[in-house]
C-alpha cells in the first residue's frame, strides 16, 4: 500500500519575496512530502492590518511558484481559514516563521505546529536595485517605546528591523534576542553603518545629536517626540536631511492613524463649518518621583513630555500662524506638573492641557460654526469620534479602529516616504510649530501664572 503523503501547510503575504521567505519555504517543504502555500489576499491583509503590501496577489503567487518549493498554491482570504484548510487537505503539519511563535498554538488540536527559525537581517543591498527594496532599520534605544515599535514592525511590508543600539550590553542583547534581530551594538557608528534607516527612541536630550549624526551619514530618521526643544534645531535637521536626500520624520503616531486622518478630512471638507476653537488635553499620572519626567535637568515636566500631542492636533487644524500664547502652570520641584497653554489665532482660539501630576479628561473638542467634533479620551489613541450638531438627531458616530498598537501607521508612512511613494502628510511644519511653542514655554518669561 502506498504510504500517505505528509502534507505541510504554510501561509504568508510573500510581498517582495526575499531570502527569508525562500529559506522558510525550503524548510517547510523539508517537513513533509507535499507543500501547500497559502498566499494572503489584499482583503485579508487589510483585515489583519498588514500595511504597505506592494505587489498584487498574482505577482506574489507567481513569485512563490517560481521558487519551486510549493506543490500547490492557494489563497488565504478569511480569518479561520487555516482550520478549514487543515481539514480539507488533511494536513499533517502547519508551519510559520519563529516571529509567530506561540500565536498559532491553538492549531495543535488539528495537526502538528512547527515554528521555523526566521531569517535574521535580510540584506537590503541584494534587493536595492530591484526597485522594491526592503528597508533595513535599526532601533536606537531599548526602552518601552522601542519595544512597542519592534513588536509592531512585522505588520509593515518592505521593512525589516535588523539591529538595536544602546549603552547597556545586556539590555541590547536581550532586546535583539526577543525580536530576533541579527545584531546589537553599543557603538553608534558601527550600528548605523549597514542600515538604511534608524528609529531614535533615546531620552529626549539625545534626540538632536543622534538624529544629526545619522542624517549626516545618509540614514533616514524616524525620531521620537519631541524631536527637539528648539525651533532652530528642527530647521537645522531638516536642512541636513534635504542635503543628504534623507527622510526625516518626527514619530507623531496619532497623525497617521485612520481615525485622525478622517477627522482632519472632515474638518477640511467643512463638515463643522468654520473652526473657531480646538481644545485638547493629555494627562498621564507619573507616580514615581524619581522618574526622568520629574528631573528638570533632563528637560522634565508635563509640557515637554506630553504637549506634542495636543499641539500636533492644533497645528494640523489651525496651522502655525499663532498670534500669542499664554501658559498657566502648577510647578513642583522645578518642573510643571500641570500646564494649560492658551493660544490665540486670528480667527480661532485653542488650548493644550497636559499633566503628569494632575489627572483630567483627555478628550478633544474641535468647534465650528455648524457643529463640533468630539473625540473621547484618550483622543491621542483615537479609534472613534462624534460629529455633533445643534439638533442632536443629526449627531453621527464614526468608528475607525486602528490595528495592533497603532504604531504601524507611522512606520508604514515612513517606509512609503523613503521609497518615494505617496506621503499622507509631511510633518515638518508641525515639528517646527511644536518646537517653537515648547521653546516659548521653557523660556519661562512668557509664563503668566505659576503656582508653586
**What does the binding site for ligand C2G look like in residue numbers (CB under 6 A)?**
11-15, 20-21, 24, 40, 50, 76, 96-97, 99-100, 118-119, 122
Q: Which is nearer to ligand C2G, 47 or 398 (CB)?
A: 47
Cα–Cα distance for residue pair 387/391, rounded to 1 Å = 11
Give buried/exposed letters for 396-431 (b at 16+ CB in 10 A, else e).
Answer: eeeeeebbeebbbbbbbbbbbbbbeeeeeeebbebb
Q: Which is nearer to ligand C2G, 15 or 403 (CB)?
A: 15
Q: Which is nearer to ligand C2G, 11 or 345 (CB)?
A: 11
Note whether 222 and 156 are within 8 A (CB). Answer: no
Q: Which is nearer to ligand C2G, 94 or 215 (CB)?
A: 94
Q: Please give the residue whose beta carbon sits closest to ligand C2G in the complex.
A: 97
Rounded to the nearest whole angstrom, what is the least distance from the CB of residue 185 to ligand C2G in the complex? 20
Cα–Cα distance for residue pair 107/113, rounded to 1 Å = 7
Rounded to the nearest whole angstrom, what is the least distance from the CB of residue 46 to ligand C2G in the complex? 13
Q: Which is nearer to ligand C2G, 28 or 311 (CB)?
A: 28
Is residue 422 reached through a cis peptide bond, with omega within 30 degrees of 0 on the bond before it?
Answer: no
Phi and psi, residue 326, nearest 5°: -120, 135
Rounded to the nearest whole angstrom, what is the least distance from the CB of residue 200 to ligand C2G in the complex? 24
Nearest to 352 by CA among 278, 299, 301, 286: 278
Q: Which is nearer to ligand C2G, 34 or 115 (CB)?
A: 115
Q: Which is nearer to ligand C2G, 158 or 368 (CB)?
A: 158
Rounded to the nearest whole angstrom, what is the least distance from the CB of residue 151 to ligand C2G in the complex? 14
Burial of 13 by CB count in 10 Å (0-12 exposed, 13-18 middle, 19+ buried)?
Answer: buried
Note whether 162 and 136 are within 8 A (CB). Answer: yes
Note whether 324 and 343 are within 8 A (CB). Answer: yes
Rounded to the nearest whole angstrom, what is the least distance from the CB of residue 100 to ligand C2G in the complex? 6
Rounded to the nearest whole angstrom, what is the least distance from the CB of residue 434 to ligand C2G in the complex? 34
Rounded to the nearest whole angstrom, what is the least distance from the CB of residue 103 to ligand C2G in the complex? 8
Amino acid at each position: 500500500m502506498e504510504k500517505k503523503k505528509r502534507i505541510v501547510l504554510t501561509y504568508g503575504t510573500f510581498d517582495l519575496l526575499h531570502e527569508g521567505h525562500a529559506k522558510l519555504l525550503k524548510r517547510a517543504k523539508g517537513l513533509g512530502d507535499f507543500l501547500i502555500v497559502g498566499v494572503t489576499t489584499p482583503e485579508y491583509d487589510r483585515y489583519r492590518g498588514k500595511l504597505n503590501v506592494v505587489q498584487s496577489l498574482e505577482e506574489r503567487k507567481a513569485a512563490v511558484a517560481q521558487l519551486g518549493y510549493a506543490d500547490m498554491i492557494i489563497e488565504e482570504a478569511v480569518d479561520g481559514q487555516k482550520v478549514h484548510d487543515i481539514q480539507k487537505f488533511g494536513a499533517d503539519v502547519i508551519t510559520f516563521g519563529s516571529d509567530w511563535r506561540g500565536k498559532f498554538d491553538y492549531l495543535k488540536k488539528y495537526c502538528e505546529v512547527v515554528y521555523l527559525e526566521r531569517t535574521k537581517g535580510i540584506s537590503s543591498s541584494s534587493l536595492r536595485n530591484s526597485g522594491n527594496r526592503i528597508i533595513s532599520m535599526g532601533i536606537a534605544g531599548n526602552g518601552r517605546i522601542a519595544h512597542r515599535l519592534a513588536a509592531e514592525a512585522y505588520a509593515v511590508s518592505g521593512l525589516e528591523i535588523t539591529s538595536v543600539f544602546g549603552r547597556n550590553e545586556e539590555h541590547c542583547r536581550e532586546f535583539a534576542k526577543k525580536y530576533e534581530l541579527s545584531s546589537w551594538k553599543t557603538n553608534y557608528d558601527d550600528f548605523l553603518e549597514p542600515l538604511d534607516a534608524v528609529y531614535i527612541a533615546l531620552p529626549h536630550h539625545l534626540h538632536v545629536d543622534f538624529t544629526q549624526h545619522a542624517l549626516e551619514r545618509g540614514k533616514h530618521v524616524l525620531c521620537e517626540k519631541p524631536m527637539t526643544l528648539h525651533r532652530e534645531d528642527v530647521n537645522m535637521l531638516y536642512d541636513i536631511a534635504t542635503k543628504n536626500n534623507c527622510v526625516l520624520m518626527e514619530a507623531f503616531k496619532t497623525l497617521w492613524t485612520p481615525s485622525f486622518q478622517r477627522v482632519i478630512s472632515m474638518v477640511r471638507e467643512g463638515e463643522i463649518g468654520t473652526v473657531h476653537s480646538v481644545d485638547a488635553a493629555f494627562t498621564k499620572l507619573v507616580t514615581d518621583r524619581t522618574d526622568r519626567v520629574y528631573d528638570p535637568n533632563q528637560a522634565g515636566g508635563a509640557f515637554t513630555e506630553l504637549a506634542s500631542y495636543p499641539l500636533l492636533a492644533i497645528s494640523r487644524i489651525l496651522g502655525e500662524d499663532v498670534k500669542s500664547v499664554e501658559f498657566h502652570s502648577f510647578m513642583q520641584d522645578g518642573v510643571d506638573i500641570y500646564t494649560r497653554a492658551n493660544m490665540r489665532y486670528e480667527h480661532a482660539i485653542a488650548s493644550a492641557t497636559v499633566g503628569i501630576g494632575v489627572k483630567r479628561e483627555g478628550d478633544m473638542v474641535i468647534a465650528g460654526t455648524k457643529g463640533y467634533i468630539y473625540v473621547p479620551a484618550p483622543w491621542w489613541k483615537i479609534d472613534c469620534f462624534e460629529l455633533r450638531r445643534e439638533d442632536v438627531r443629526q449627531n453621527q458616530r464614526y468608528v475607525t479602529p486602528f490595528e495592533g498598537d497603532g504604531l504601524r501607521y507611522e512606520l508604514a508612512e515612513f517606509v512609503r516616504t523613503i521609497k518615494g511613494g505617496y506621503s499622507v502628510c509631511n510633518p515638518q511644519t508641525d515639528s517646527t510649530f511644536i518646537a517653537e511653542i515648547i521653546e516659548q514655554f521653557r523660556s519661562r518669561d512668557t509664563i503668566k501664572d505659576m503656582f508653586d
